[in-house]
Amino acid sequence: MSETKELDYPRYAHVEGHTDVCYSEDGRYLITCGQDGDIRIWDGIEDGDPIEKCVGSEAFAVHQSGDVLYVGDDHHTLQVYTFPKAELIDTLTRFTASVCCLDSSKDGKLIAAGGCDSSIQVVNKDTKSVLNFNGHKSPILSIKFDALAEFLVSSSCDGTVKIWSIEKKSVVKEWTSVIPVSNAFQHSKIKCTPAWDPIDGNLLAIPFGKEIKLFQRGLWRELYTLHDYRLSEQEITVMSWSKCGRYIAAGTNTGFILVWNVSSQVIVLYAECKERYSIRSLVWCPKNGEHTLAYCDDHGQLGLVENARSDDFNIDTTNDKENILMTDEESSDNVISLEQIKHDAEVELNKQRGVSLNNVDGLEIDDDNSNLSSKYIPPTAGFTVDLQSPFQPCSTPVHLQRRFMVFNDVGYARQTNTADENVIDVDFHDNTVHHAFRIKNVLGHTIAAMCQEALVLGCETQDNTPSKLVCVLLNSWDGKREWTVDLPDDDDICGLAVTADWIAVASVSRLLRLFTLGGGQREIISIPGPIVAIHGSRDRLVVVHHCGAPIPGEQNLRYCVYKIDSRVEAVCSGYVPLFPKSTLRWVGFSDYGSLCILDSAGTLRMLIKSYWSPLCYVDNTWNDTTNHYFVIGVSEARQDIRCILCKGSYYPSTTPHPFLNEIPWQIPLCDLNQEKGELEEKFWRSNIALSILPEEDGLQYDKELKTTFLKLFAMACKSGHDMRALELCKLIRSEQYLNLALKYTMRVGNSSLATKITTIIENEAKVDDEPKPVTYSELFNGPSTSYNKNTNYISQQSQDLFSDKYSPHDKEDNNKEVVESSSILAVIKKKQESELMNESNDIDRAFNPFKKKTGGEANISIGTLSPFDQTNEPSSDNKRKSDLNDSSEDINSTNKSKKPKGVSKLSSFIFKK
């Protein structure tokens, strides 16, 4: 066990605040930057006149590689300076906020930078190409390349550590709640600087509060932990891995520096800084054989730790090979070989790194005769999944000091949680309905929901105080403005929804509790999985929950919609569609009650009847990939999305007051940059609106649908795509639109297409006017169908003719239907015979298929004769005509409805509407 070592007083480097330090590649110079906006290049710790350069108001990160120096500052740029002259030569890339951390690959070709806008950029120094990595939700604290430049590890103020695949630009592993969350880089007390094994990158070290965990590359499983009992009252702020790979150093928030031997997992240095300020940066000297640490604290001071492995034992494996490999027979039972133990530990570490056991420190070992033969058997590889945590729609993260607990169409509840005050400000968009007011957040409420009638607040369990639900009534008529209820022990509120008639409370115990607006308890619904989010509107409530272990990196979510009035009824349920590797970002109901979701990739989807349809890629409406939209609501009548533009983040800031934007729908069809794709998008957008909106609200979209249909039809005809034009007609079930398409086809002289359109018109007319097909059971057993007026659905279940439900009048009606059905079959048979007779008729007969059927002719299709049919005919045809007059009336009416053939049979449409 190492004793506490007292360090010399550090020297002044910069003003108080965050300070960063790095070594030059040759280990000669120390480079620092600080909150005064200066960078200083020190030729040793005793340098009294360092090279000094002002780069901005604040400088956050420095990194030296090759012959240049990279600096991240508050100008939102990654600047390149010469080294060691510190002359500005280039701006490598730009961010929308300050650049706060830097790193380079081992060969120096790739430069990684993290910004306060939550984004990471990897720049190729030669080609200047940029790769963007977006996934963190708060400023980036640290980034680090692995030795092979295949992975990039990053930590963020949102409390997560992510491993990125540089080639795929995706997250391959994520750890949550690693550090306390914060809302700014400067306010984060724990910087958390993960580091890769500098030799081959097979190990990754991540500080977790009071210990450092080491993970295996690829499988990302935890191998072992570095810790010390003296860290029980301290937290690790930064860590660094030595260039030789043998030692890991860590700095704490109380001014202590610890060094571990990685192979033996033993503390070799425990040093105390005299002024005990929090360590903000820590780096090893890259010189071979020189184990020196440089550090900076949060008061802008620079210090050195020399001989950082002074308490470690130097092992010369070349001279002690025989002692190391001494067998049990050669050694005494009472002798403990420290060299043997430490060598075994190093061999174990090499196995974990993937180094062959046959070559340890240049020593050839026979597997059959060595007592170092494989004792380490790796456990079975498994995978873990990260389930999305519950969240409240239309709210911002809880860890922010100033946040929106809810922001919807009614108003907002803004929480301020600082050292000076902890209050909730409630304001409304229409101040003529309600006035703004302020609530002291004594109970520590973190979740809220609001409507015109009430504001509902919820807090978590704190010490011995249970989770509470508080309802503030805004339109109370009995004088009671507020009521409170406690949830059972070990149960916390994770979601709230409120409407004019009820309140829904979701809890971590997977229960959905319903309350009346006045505080009465209603039904309790069990949810089959951890609840993710709930939302209520009018008499509808949607619950999204996990429904099983998903594929790694994915989410397996399911939704259920309930109708809540005097009783509770499940309306529909199904799986939630998400973009690959994304999470749920928002869920809610549109203005007309359609269920909508938004995922973290920015895809907004709407549930239309029984299927999900994407309406828009929300974030793509803005050219800057770092900007995102915070969705508030969706409107079908205006076909737009109400949202707030968040520059450089996913969530809006409370100051200044955010402005509401309306972005239009844009269905993600193909070739939207061409006229055809643009018209098709407009066509289907109108179709969606007409399928949801009531008739009086959808008049404008009916006109828009007609216009786009005719334009698409004309475009297809002009380009010679008759099949496409005909298929478009099949999608339109409107006689008016088809008649216009037919007139256009006749005008351009496309007879073959006109004939096919006429067939579609006839089929549509038959479907609308002819009775339903007569079934076998109807002809011989009476009617066996029952008509449902609500669903327009004909039941195919047979009915008992001898049941008491049938009266004599019913039997008379049944016999009447049988007679009518028999007459229909007779008429159809006569119609077929008359069509065969008319095949030899040379007279061209044209008819109007759009004329409505009347009277007793409703059961068969009858057309009107055209003016050409009323002209005088030759005497030879009169005889045939007189023969036809001798036929029955049914055959005459059937002859008139014969389908026309050829252009001459369609020419009558030119003279008729």
Q: Which two tokens stand for residue 332?
A: 């005494």
Contacts of 68 (CB under 8 A, 6+ apart): 80, 81, 82, 83, 89
Residue 368: its H or E element: none
- For the CA atoms of the chain, what is the radius of gyration? 39
Contacts of 734 (CB under 8 A, 6+ apart): none
Token pair 């075994």 in the structure block, residue = 344
Q: What is the pLDDT of residues 685-724, one digit of tens each?
A: 888 888 888 877 778 888 888 888 888 888 888 888 888 8
Residue 675: band (very low, low, confident or very high) from pLDDT cuts 50, 70, 90: confident
CB atoms within 10 A of CB 738: 21
Mean pLDDT of the chain: 78
**β-bridge pairing 4-6 and 266-272:** parallel
| Lowest-pLDDT choice from 570-579, 633-642, 817-826 | 817-826
The predicted pLDDT at position 340 comes to: 57
Q: State how far the alpha carbon of 274 is from the alpha carbons of 11, 13, 294, 835, in Å.
A: 12, 17, 15, 110
Angle between helices 875-885 and 889-896 (to 10 degrees): 130
Give CA–CA dist 146/137, Å, rounded.
23
**If you average pLDDT over residues 819-834, what whole number do you get?**
46
Token pair 């984004």 in the structure block, residue = 119
Q: Which 3-state string (H, E, C) describes 371-394? A: CCCCCCCCCCCCCCCCCCCCCCCC
> In whole angstroms, what separates CA 733 from the centre of its chain?
37
Give CA–CA dist 804/816, Å, rounded.
20
Give CA–CA dist 514/597, Å, rounded.
23
**β-bridge pairing 661-664 and 482-486:** unpaired
Q: Is 478 helix (H, G, I), strand (E, B) or coil?
A: coil
Question: Residue 801, by phi and psi: left (phi above 0), alpha (psi -120 to 50) or beta?
Answer: alpha
Residue 778: its H or E element: helix 776-781
Q: Examine the pLDDT at 531 and tell me if it is beyond 60.
A: yes
The predicted pLDDT at position 344 comes to: 61
> In whole angstroms, what separates CA 748 from the centre of its chain?
49
Q: Which two tokens stand for residue 113?
A: 């930078």
The predicted pLDDT at position 728 comes to: 87
**If you average pLDDT over residues 863-880, what whole number do you get?**
39
Residues facing 143 on adjacent strands: 154
Examine residue 656 and say whether the peptide bond preceding it is cis (omega within 30 degrees of 0): yes
The predicted pLDDT at position 535 comes to: 96
Residue 229: band (very low, low, confident or very high) from pLDDT cuts 50, 70, 90: confident
Q: What is the pLDDT of residues 608-635, one digit of tens each?
A: 988 999 999 988 877 667 788 999 999 9
The predicted pLDDT at position 260 comes to: 92
Angle at 61 between CA 55 and CA 67, to 5 degrees: 75
E strand spans, 149-288:
151-156, 161-165, 170-175, 195-196, 203-208, 211-216, 222-226, 236-241, 247-252, 256-261, 266-272, 279-284
Q: What is the DSSP string of 41-65?
A: EESSTT-SS-EEEE-SS-EEEEEEE
CB atoms within 10 A of CB 416: 16
386 burial type by CB count under 10 A (0-12 exposed, 13-18 middle, 19+ buried): middle
Q: Examine the pLDDT at 899 and tell me if it is beyond 60.
A: no
**β-bridge pairing 447-450 and 437-440:** unpaired
The predicted pLDDT at position 507 comes to: 93
End-to-end CA distance of the chain: 102
Q: State how far the alpha carbon of 775 is from the alpha carbons of 185, 778, 798, 829, in Å.
A: 76, 5, 12, 17
Residue 584: band (very low, low, confident or very high) from pLDDT cuts 50, 70, 90: very high
**If you average pLDDT over residues 52-75, what whole number do you get?**
92
CB atoms within 10 A of CB 548: 10
| Lowest-pLDDT choice from 119-128, 142-151, 850-859 | 850-859
Residue 838: its H or E element: helix 808-838
Return the amino acid letter for 805: K
Angle between helices 751-769 and 735-748 (to 10 degrees): 160
The predicted pLDDT at position 750 comes to: 84
pTM, two decimals, is 0.53
Q: Which 3-state string (H, E, C) describes 301-339? A: EEEEECCCCCCCCCCCCCCCHHHHCCCCCCCCCCCCCHH
Q: Examine the pLDDT at 526 and tell me if it is beyond 70.
A: yes
**If you average pLDDT over residues 487-500, what whole number do you get?**
91
The predicted pLDDT at position 371 comes to: 37
**Position with higher pLDDT, 265 vs 776:** 265
Q: Which two tokens stand for residue 854?
A: 């009347």
Give CA–CA dist 506/541, Å, rounded.
12
Contacts of 733 (CB under 8 A, 6+ apart): 764
The predicted pLDDT at position 788 comes to: 39
Residue 735: band (very low, low, confident or very high) from pLDDT cuts 50, 70, 90: confident
Return the amino acid letter for 453: E
Give CA–CA dist 80/766, Å, rounded.
77
**β-bridge pairing 640-646 and 119-124:** unpaired
| Lowest-pLDDT choice from 74-83, 268-277, 622-631, 735-744 | 622-631
Token pair 């079975």 in the structure block, residue = 380
Q: Examine the pLDDT at 326 and tell me if it is beyond 50.
A: no
Q: Is 854 helix (H, G, I), strand (E, B) or coil?
A: coil
The predicted pLDDT at position 777 comes to: 38
**Position with higher pLDDT, 430 vs 767:** 430
Q: Examine the pLDDT at 636 and tell me if it is beyond 50.
A: yes
Write b or e for each residue in 107-124: b if 16 or more Cβ atoms lie within 10 A of its Cβ, otherwise e.
Answer: eeebbbbbbbbbbbbbbe
Residue 789: band (very low, low, confident or very high) from pLDDT cuts 50, 70, 90: very low
Nearest by Cα to 528 from 490, 489, 504, 557: 557
Write b or e for each residue in 550-572: b if 16 or more Cβ atoms lie within 10 A of its Cβ, otherwise e.
Answer: beebebbbbbbbbebeeebeeee
Asked if residue 748 lies in contact with residue 710, where contact means CB atoms within 8 angstroms, the answer is no
**If you average pLDDT over residues 569-583, what whole number do you get?**
92
Whether the CA torsion 43, 49, 51, 55 is positive or negative: it is: positive
**Position with higher pLDDT, 846 vs 595:** 595
**If you average pLDDT over residues 567-581, what whole number do you get?**
93
> What letter would DSSP give residue 183?
S
The predicted pLDDT at position 285 comes to: 93
Residue 520: band (very low, low, confident or very high) from pLDDT cuts 50, 70, 90: very high
Give the best-scoring range by mean pLDDT among 106-120, 751-765, 811-825: 106-120
Side-chain half-sphere exposure of 844, counting CA atoms within 13 A: 11
E strand spans, 576-709:
584-589, 595-599, 603-608, 611-617, 628-635, 640-646, 661-664
Return the amino acid letter for 496: L
**Position with higher pLDDT, 862 vs 292:** 292
Give CA–CA dist 116/189, Å, rounded.
15
CB atoms within 10 A of CB 189: 13
The predicted pLDDT at position 296 comes to: 94
**φ, ψ for residue 825, nearest 5 deg:** -65, -40
**If you average pLDDT over residues 259-269, what whole number do you get?**
90
**If you average pLDDT over residues 835-864, what whole number do you get?**
42
The fraction of the chain above a pLDDT of 90, given in percent, is 39
Asked if residue 452 lies in contact with residue 475, where contact means CB atoms within 8 angstroms, the answer is yes
Residue 347: band (very low, low, confident or very high) from pLDDT cuts 50, 70, 90: low
Q: What is the pLDDT of residues 360-413, one digit of tens each?
A: 334 333 443 333 333 333 444 445 577 898 999 999 988 888 899 999 999 999
Residues facing 305 on adjacent strands: 293
**Position with higher pLDDT, 78 vs 288:** 78
Whether the CA torsion 307, 309, 312, 313 is positive or negative: it is: negative
Token pair 């916390």 in the structure block, residue = 492
| Lowest-pLDDT choice from 24-33, 797-806, 838-847 | 797-806
Give CA–CA dist 716/679, Å, rounded.
12
Examine residue 84 and say whether the peptide bond preceding it is cis (omega within 30 degrees of 0): yes
Give CA–CA dist 145/509, Å, rounded.
41
> What letter would DSSP give residue 857?
G
CB atoms within 10 A of CB 25: 15
The predicted pLDDT at position 349 comes to: 53
